Structure 1
Amino acid sequence: MTSVITSPDNSSAPESSGSHRTGRWIDDWEPEDPAFWEATGKAVAKRNLIWSIFAEHLGFSVWLLWSVSAAMLAKVGFDFSAQQLFFLVAVPNLVGSLLRLPYTFAVPKFGGRNWTIISAALLVIPTVLFIVFVQRPDTPYWAFVLIAATAGFGGGNFSSSMTNINYFYPTRLKGSALGLNAAGGNIGVSLIQFFLPIIVGAGGAFGAIKAAEAINLQRVGYLYATLAVIAAVAAYFFMDNLSSAKGTPRETLAVAKYKHTWIMSVLYIGTFGSFIGYSAAMPLLIKINFFRSPIPTESIGINFVYYAFLGALVGSITRPFGGWLADKIGGAKVTLGCFVAMIVGTLGVFYTLTLLHTVPVASPDKIAAWTADPSSFPGFSPEITAAVNHNSDIFPWFLALFLFVFAATGVANGSTYKMIPHIFKTQAQNGTSEGTPDRYAAEAKAVKEGSAALGIIGAAGAMGGFLIPITFGSPWVGDPVEACKVAFIVFAAYYVICSAITWFVYRRPGATMAKAGV
């Protein structure tokens, strides 16, 4: 049975299990107790999970709003370089990663339900700014960087959502529950990349929906501002706070002293950082390597709006599978296999880029003249047409290998988030005897520490979402196509390091965590 903390504005007698007063605080929560879980816990946890997924989903969509919008700015009158655009899509990831730590603190400070209301409402800020300024081509680049930075509010949602849901579920179900929660959020990246071009009039759905005469980027801002308000209202009415999740920032930061917090942070940069970084960069990667549009009215090659969403979709769908598989055979085993797959896939993507032919580029003066007078554009030369057609033939291999990498990142995201609470529970059990009060207290503490670690590790992982686009837009490599090739070699090398760490710490025979089946 659950008991509740009476809110100041409601002094009536306690209600029965499953019902809540104003403020919706649940005082007693024992998900590890099978009887409690079946009688009360399962239904309450499921309801909170559903609305947590909805709010987190919108957070991810707003977070990656610029990933596909940036590639369309030229169509609505903005003139930014490839390096500027890669930085523009990277900035929300940087802000989102930095916000994940305070968002983690917010759950024990304010309550999971209360913070979901606030964090959902904050999404109105980046969407309204988006609405206003994408309609003003005279807006300077620095202003767009600041506006894009506010989309980082959506990135913070992940840590608070995962921290909150971790409290609701028993250890045996955390992998699946956290995998579903994360996947529901992650798929927001795919949906924004699929539907944004359609909503704004750029076409999409693999060409089934044709582009309109004019692109109206502001439309998607209106949609997501409305959905953010709906998410905040839904959290108010349908979610709960857990008293067991209460704590202070000092208690949360205490997990920073554990080596496993930082080891898992390094691994999560490789898994989730890759997922969010590749998702943010994919529209621009396709545009730079396989598409040419010297003026807004003329284009040739692979249209990125048809395919950019697929990577995030695959990575999102496979994430729950990673959590489920980790529940069955162990998170470290799955994670190690995924890093090996990411090495192979990344090197494969690099190889496809080496097969591309160089596409001649007109001088800036000619492009400016054609843009000013589209009727003066002479058409694509035979050399450009031949090179773009050759590269288009390579694109299916590039896409297939890149989706393979995305699938591996998704599975690894699920498996690493299964590992984290298991690691902290193992530490609690190693220092206590079974059936003792000390064991019970240590395991209860481990749940709090595991939730805190989820936030810190999530914050570190999201930093990869900033570093990957920055590496693709490397200012020290003059040719954008060459910069992409160099980037994939760097990423493959990082995955080799992550594989070695995973094996040595969590899979090496005789290692403490390997014995515990982490």
Structure 2
Amino acid sequence: MSTTTTPTTGTSPVAPEGPGRLRALTAPRTRVIRDWDPEDTAAWEAGNRHVARRNLVWSVATEHIGFSIWSIWSVMVLFMPQAVYGFTAADKFFLVAVPTLVGAVLRVPYTMATAFFGGRNWAIVSGFALLVPTVLTWWLMVNPGHSLTTFLLVAGLAGLGGGNFASSMTNINAFYPQRMKGWALGLNAGGGNIGVPVVQLVGLLVIATLGNRRPEVVCAVYLVLLAVASIGAAAFMDNLDHQTANPRAMLEVLRHTDAWVISLLYIGTFGSFIGFGFAFGQVLNQTFLAGMTGGAVPTPAQTAAASLHAAQIAFVGPLLGSVSRVWGGRLADRRGGASVTLWTFVGMAAAGVLVTAAARSDDLTRGAATGVQLTGLIGGFVLLFVLSGIGNGSVYKMIPALFEAKSAAVPGPAVERTAWSRSMSGALIGIAGAVGALGGVLINLGLRASYQGAGHSATAAFVVFTLFYVGAAALTKVRYRR
């Protein structure tokens, strides 16, 4: 039976008679929608699409703020001159790797949270929970002198924002029909991903206007935005009565080889996006400082200037990568997720070669990086961001399409096959999101190790990243584009 819903009213109205005998089965007091079927085109056109869109809008808002808090330490490190806080460049890469790791781990339980608590309910709870790391970050940044361990613990709490992605994506996956999942999931994820460049833009505005000694202003802005997003979720989102993921589905989906392959591919796309999103500002900062100091200990003025230069550029890559994710999902709807993913990795391998060549050339020359070297480094990174965004959308399009095809072999009526496909897709969305985010951890740890090496350069890390993209392209070609 199809459903429409008007959850803002005080009673459950009955929809007019028509194809499929549309009727509303909403319980407004608890904001629960029962028997939601996005594949029923009559119900979709009669009003369900407006309900789905409303939930999508506020899902994007809450996920967006979650991403900003998750990546807030990529901005905080620009407010941390070594002379004041005592942390080296390697320490700062560790500071941004820890919240990435925590966010990756939390994506598994967050995937199941919408099934147990409801999409609306969990959006509210997870949003208000982010007040804790935001307040603690404010306090710690204005009270330097604490140990690296203390900073790592507080930075780890920011990883709560990384879990929001999994719950949000699983929830929206259940609201939209198969024919629109690429677009809907791409828009939801892209709107969330754009939280990375937005928090960096806020940091840039603070550094440009108040200098690099007022990090608490960034935290204050996000305390207000967190309250707005959480209240909006409470007022405008709904819960669905059917589970979209559960522990049994999480275990069952792992028996499918494709679950592991998709997760590996997502390391290359989303892992690159979030890893470079957190690290790009630090890479630029170190490049500018090396040119200013020639390897000597930087002065406070040099540190502030390098931070400003890095902040002016760092947000561009994550911004373009976030926007391109939406178009990656839409392109995958038309061309197929596997085809778009294959060519994405081919392009990322080429961009990796460009970044590696520019970094190696800078290593071999004395003084500041030349204009050509900076163009190659920054241009290559921007290409990596754009292509990783496209790949994020196309890989996630592959998930529901994959299990829609596999559901044909599931015994039972069509409704049971659809439920199985939806459950498996929701479970893999969470697992792939978690594994993919681990790629961000590996990128930051790889860069940290590279800077600690004899050359004090990121070149060795760039070589490894490029080889991974080549392997991912070959894997996609062999398994999905035969």
TM-score normalised to the size of structure 1?
0.85
Check whether the contact 2:171–2:244 (CA below 8 A) recurs between aligned residues.
Answer: no
- TM-superposed CA distance for 1:498, in Å, is 1.0
Match of 1:74 in 2: 81
Deviation at 1:67, TM superposition (A): 0.8
Q: Say whether the 8 Å CA contact 1:129–1:147 is kept in structure 2.
A: yes
CA contact (8 A) 1:429 1:443 kept: no
CA contact (8 A) 2:333 2:397 kept: yes
- Contact kept? 2:246, 2:427, Cα under 8 Å: no
Structure 1 partner of 2:430: 455
In structure 1, which of residues 265, 275, 278 is the aligned counterpart of residue 276 of structure 2?
Answer: 278
Q: Is the Cα–Cα contact under 8 Å of residues 268 and 461 in structure 1 kept in the other structure? A: yes
SS at match of 1:29: coil
Give the Å deviation of 1:475: 6.7
1:114-263 map, 5 Å? 114-199=121-206, 202-203=207-208, 211-212=209-210, 215-245=213-243, 248-263=246-261
5+ long unaligned stretches in structure 1: 204-210, 360-385, 509-518
Determine the structure 1 residue equivalent to 2:3: 2
- Shift, 1:339, TM fit: 0.3
Distance in 2 (CA, whole Å) between partners of 1:121 and 1:358 is 50
Runs of 5+ in structure 2 lacking a partner?
Answer: 15-23
The one-letter amino acid paired with 1:167 is A
Contact 2:78 2:212 in 1 (8 A): no
Distance 1:502 1:217, change over 3 A: same
- Separation in 1, partners of 2:212, 2:361: 35
Matched, 1:406 2:385: yes
**Displacement of 1:480 after TM fit?**
6.3
Letter in 1 for 2:376: W
Kept in 2: contact 1:121–1:232 (CA 8 A): yes
Number of the residue aligned with 1:347: 353
Asked if 1:44 corresponds to 2:51, the answer is: yes
Which residue does 2:315 correspond to in 1? 309
Task: Using the aligned pairs only, state the percent identity.
Answer: 40
- 2-side partners of 1:308 and 1:429: how far apart? 46
Distance between the aligned counterparts of 2:214 and 2:322, measured in 1?
A: 28
- 1:460: Cα distance to partner? 0.5
Task: Report whether the alignment pairs 1:62 with 2:69.
Answer: yes
CA contact (8 A) 2:26 2:32 kept: no
Superposed CA RMSD: 2.3
8 Å CA contact retained: 1:290, 1:392: no
Q: Between 76-85 and 234-243, report the one with greater CA deviation.
A: 76-85
Cα distance, 1:342–1:3 mapped onto 2, change above 3 Å: closer
DSSP 3-state at the match of 1:458: helix
1:485 counterpart = 2:465: no
Instruction: Give the AA of the match of 2:300.
Output: P
CA–CA distance in 2 between the matches of 1:214 and 1:197?
9
1 CA distance for matches of 2:220 and 2:414?
A: 52
Alpha-carbon spacing, 1:214–1:254, altered in 2? closer, same or farther (3 Å): closer
Aligned partners of 1:232, 1:109: CA distance in 2, in Å? 19
DSSP 3-state at the match of 1:216: coil
Give the Å deviation of 1:18. 8.4
Give, as a single letter, the amino acid of the residue that structure 2 aligns with 1:493: L
Displacement after TM superposition at 1:267 (Å)? 0.4
Paired AA for residue 309 in structure 2: N
Paired AA for residue 499 in structure 1: A
Between the aligned partners of 2:138 and 2:283, the Cα distance in structure 1 is 25
Letter in 2 for 1:179: G
**CA offsets, 1:426-478, max 9 Å, x none?**
0012456xxxx533321221012101110111111000111101100107942
Report how many residues are paired: 463
CA shift digits 1:89-141 (9 cap, x unpaired): 11110000000000001011111111111111111011000110101111111
CA distance in 1: counterparts of 2:171 and 2:177, whole angstroms: 13
What is the CA deviation profile of residues 64-111 of structure 1, one whole-angstrom value per residue up to 9, with x for unaligned ones? 000121132117821211111101011110000000000001011111
SS in 2 for 1:245: coil
1:246–1:493: structure 2 CA closer, same or farther, 3 Å change rule? closer
- Once structures 1 and 2 are overlaid, which stretch shifts more, 300-309 or 225-234? 300-309
Partner secondary structure for residue 465 of structure 2: helix
Once the two structures are TM-superposed, the CA of residue 222 in structure 1 deviates from its matched residue by: 1.5
**Residue type of the alignment partner of 2:441:** F
Q: Check the 8 A contact 1:428/1:439 in 2, yes or no.
A: no
- Per-residue deviation, residues 20-72 of structure 1 (Å, max 9, x unmatched): 41220000211101101111210000000000000000000000000121132
Distance 1:70-1:358 versus aligned 2 partners, 3 A rule: farther
Supply the AA of the counterpart residue of 1:2.
T
SS across alignment from 2:449: coil
Look up the equivalent residue of 1:85 and give its one-letter code.
Answer: K
> Is 1:474 aligned with 2:449?
yes
Distance in 1 between residues matched to 2:92 and 2:473, nearest whole Å: 32
1:348-367 to 2 correspondences below 5 Å: 348-357=354-363
Which residue is equivalent to 2:33? 26
Q: Is the 8 A contact 2:269 2:389 kept in 1?
A: yes
Deviation at 1:2, TM superposition (A): 3.0
